[in-house]
């Protein structure tokens, strides 16, 4: 490789391969595997992510479903197509999923968050009714 070229190396810090796993990749001259793992030793904090509580995971999913509902209601531009398109069948399914997940996560959050979740579901449902009435 010419000396004037920049060298970039992909480092996968997820730590998903085991020592005997062929998917961990072969070692390069630097002691790094092709998949980015080191020769058995992890650098300080590398590949470590904080453990997410069940409520945090559910709230992340809820946020994704909530955003999808607004897009399906035709009230927010779809970031993939840059178009506003209404799909009420999809919106209803997403709103129902938001409501079910919000109900499940309520046991893990304080009263203020419960109120916010209920408002979120109510707002989506009201917008669904409004969009259903429009041609």
User: What confidence tier does 49 reach under pLDDT thresholds 50, 70, 90?
Assistant: confident
Q: What is the 3-state secondary structure (H, E, C) of the chain?
A: CCCCCCCCCCCCCCCCCCCCCHHHCCECCCCCECCCCCCCCCCCCCCCCCCCCHHHHHHHHHHHHHHHHHHHCCCCCECCCCECCCCHHHHHHHHHHHHHHHHHHHHHCCHHHHHHHHHHHHHHHHHHHHHHHCC
| Structural domain of 6 | 1-46
Q: In whole angstroms, how far apart are CA 77 and each of 18, 22, 60, 69, 82?
A: 43, 43, 21, 11, 6
Report the predicted TM-score, pTM, of the whole model to 2 decimal places: 0.63
Q: 11 and 74 in one domain?
A: no
Determine contact, residues 92/35, Cβ cutoff 8 Å: no
Q: 66 and 125 in one domain?
A: yes
Q: 80 and 97 in one domain?
A: yes
Q: 116 and 63 in one domain?
A: yes
Q: 97 and 78 in one domain?
A: yes
Q: 80 and 42 in one domain?
A: no
User: What confidence tier does 25 reach under pLDDT thresholds 50, 70, 90?
Assistant: very low
Q: 97 and 34 in one domain?
A: no
Q: 96 and 70 in one domain?
A: yes
Per-residue pLDDT, 135:
82
Q: 65 and 3 in one domain?
A: no
| Number of domains comprising the chain | 2
Task: Return mean pLDDT, the chain.
Answer: 80
């Amino acid at each position: 490789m010419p000396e004037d070229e920049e060298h970039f190396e992909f480092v996968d810090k997820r730590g998903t391969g085991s020592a005997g796993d062929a998917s961990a990749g072969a070692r390069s001259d630097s002691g790094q595997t092709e998949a980015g793992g080191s020769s058995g030793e992890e650098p300080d904090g590398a590949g470590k992510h904080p453990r997410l509580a069940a409520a945090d995971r559910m709230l992340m999913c809820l946020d994704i479903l909530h955003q999808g509902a607004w897009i399906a209601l035709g009230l927010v531009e779809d970031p993939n197509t840059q178009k506003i398109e209404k799909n009420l069948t999809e919106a209803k399914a997403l709103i129902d999923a938001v409501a079910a997940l919000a109900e499940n996560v309520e046991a893990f959050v304080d009263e203020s968050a419960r109120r916010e979740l209920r408002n979120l579901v109510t707002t989506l449902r009201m917008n669904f009714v409004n969009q259903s009435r429009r041609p």
